[in-house]
Amino acid sequence: MAINRFHHFSVLIFLLLPLFLQFHSGKSELQYNYYAESCPNAEEIIKQEVIKLYNIHGNTAVSWVRNLFHDCVLKSCDASLLLETVNGIESEQASDRSFGMRNFKYVKTIKDALEQECPMTVSCADVVALSARDGIVMLGGPRIEMKTGRRDSQESYFAEMDSLIPNHNDSISSVLSRFQSLGVDVKATVALLGAHSVGRVHCVNLVHRLYPTVDPTLDPHYAEYLKGRCPTPDPNPKAVLYARNDRETPMILDNNYYKNVLNHKGLLIIDQQLASDPTTLPYVEKMAADNGYFQDQFSRAVLLLSENSPLTGDQGEIRKDCRYVNSN
């Protein structure tokens, strides 16, 4: 009888130990409908704000997607990107890697709507993730079911941005390596780069492919169009000088990007390298041929990225204002 009791006790300890460790460490996993009890309308509020902003400023949807990429690739999906420079914190927005990013002020619009409904409940990190999800839908992309429960960092990673965020001039092998270190495989990385099918690129990031001589991997007619958009080799970074990533469907998240890449019309060096690297070319060809396949892979890739090392449980904090840690 004593042995039997001991056996039951051992089984109970075995079953409860993971829960104890989770509670003791302060960690918990992301989950679907994390705010179901604490703020049941949270996801709907974010969605409606994203729609309202899109109808006034269509480019906000592109910004939300880029925010997710920059925030999650760096260290963690923890809204460190949104912190402004104050009291010893140097904003990641001031880095060269953040060149061209905009619409941060409208994150406050979304967060204020949440604060009105559920004060100090919904994290800025989840605002970054869910606004990207809803922005993708506004851009004609797939609806992605996302887990929530991320918490906000209390520090900026400005000093590490150059080493951790891939650059458009990096080699495809280094970009693949960086993403693989985050658990994002080759196919998912190729799909993520499909986000380049929307938005635009400033001439500052293009002119090295046009001047003094045209990059031989660029389609000559396309190069002439780009020269029309970027007429000088030294554009003013503050001037509105840019080329659309995709001239045919510039605000639709679709597989035209891959068709352009195969036709030597990739804007950035990293885009064009997708078609010349034997590890990525088969996926480029498959995504170019099948928009449904691209959207499926894009959904999977966004989920992988959005769940990179989140702060959960009692880690970090829930910021009241996404621009500042609560102590500021």
User: Which residues are catalytic, by number?
Assistant: 70
Instruction: Report d(CA 220, CA 205) in Å as an integer.
Output: 18
Q: Which two tokens stand for residue 1?
A: 């009888």
Tell me which long-range contacts 217-226 makes (C-beta under 8 A, separation of at least 24). 217/264, 217/272, 217/276, 218/264, 218/265, 218/272, 219/263, 219/264, 219/265, 222/264, 222/265, 226/267
List Cα–Cα distances, 298 to 34, 97, 101, in angstroms: 23, 23, 21
One-letter identity of residue 54: Y
**Which of 24-44 are b and which e, b meaning 16 or more Cβ less than 10 Å from the residue's Cβ?**
eeeeeebeeebbeeebeebbe
Give the residue from 247, 300, 134, 271 showing the smallest Cα distance to 193: 271
